[in-house]
Amino acid sequence: MKQLLSATFFVLLLTAMNSLQSCSSSLIPSRPKYTIVADTETVVMKGVLNRATLEKESSFTWMTENRKYGSAYAGAVKIFSEKKDKFTLLLFIGTWCHDSQNLLPLLYRLTDKSGFPDNKIQVVGLDRNKTAPNNWHQVWNITNVPTFIVLQNGKEAGRVVEYGTTGSIEKELAAIVAKLP
């Protein structure tokens, strides 16, 4: 009887966690709402951000500079363009993090080339402790930044953490999007 109760509790817990995660993207507001955290090295933005907010910050020259180098992977551009109505992106970044500063502009280069709209990209800035408002970092199990999550109907279809397993976030994101029905 005890094992049956434990198994039932586990199933209920998993169901609750899946429900929380599937609706949690809607709990992240679409409008920027962030705080600037005191930091001696750089501007640390914590909360909901967007591209315009990041590009407006005068100390974030990395947003435009790092987009200039290289070109978007053509295969990813094609897949993003073909399936842009089937998914959204949820990004967890650190404005203080060099990996975020390198990879976020690459992602925007890809979305620009593919016509993927900015309003389908939610950006959450984490502080140096990798925490976000409302415990979104826990809800989405964020341990490293940047983390790029592909969502379909509010549910995670896949993610790329930092440089991914191959070193090409564009190819890895394209592989996730290509599998979407």
pLDDT at position 86 is 97
- What's the rounded Cα separation, in Å, for the pair 12 and 15? 5
- What's the rounded Cα separation, in Å, for the pair 21 and 154? 8
Cβ(170)–Cβ(109) under 8 Å? no
Name the residue among 153, 118, 135, 132 with its Cα closest to residue 26: 153
Helices (H), ranges, the chain: 2-27, 51-56, 62-65, 74-83, 98-114, 136-139, 169-178
Q: State the average pLDDT for the chain.
A: 87
120-131 pLDDT, tens digit per residue, is 999 999 999 999
Q: How far apart are the first and last CA of the chain?
A: 41
Rg of the chain taking only CA atoms, in angstroms:
17
Q: In this model, does residue 8 exceed pLDDT 50?
A: no
The mean pLDDT value for 98-111 works out to 97
pTM of the model: 0.83
pLDDT at position 10 is 33
Percent of the chain with pLDDT over 90: 74
- What's the rounded Cα separation, in Å, for the pair 99 and 91? 13
pLDDT at position 108 is 96
pLDDT at position 13 is 32
Q: In this model, does residue 98 exceed pLDDT 70?
A: yes
For residues 28 and 92, the model is more confident at 92
Q: In this model, does residue 60 exceed pLDDT 60?
A: yes
pLDDT at position 40 is 85
For residues 41 and 176, the model is more confident at 176
Cβ(72)–Cβ(110) under 8 Å? yes
The mean pLDDT value for 165-177 works out to 97
pLDDT at position 69 is 85
Q: In this model, does residue 90 exceed pLDDT 60?
A: yes
pLDDT at position 11 is 33
Cβ(122)–Cβ(88) under 8 Å? yes
pLDDT at position 110 is 97
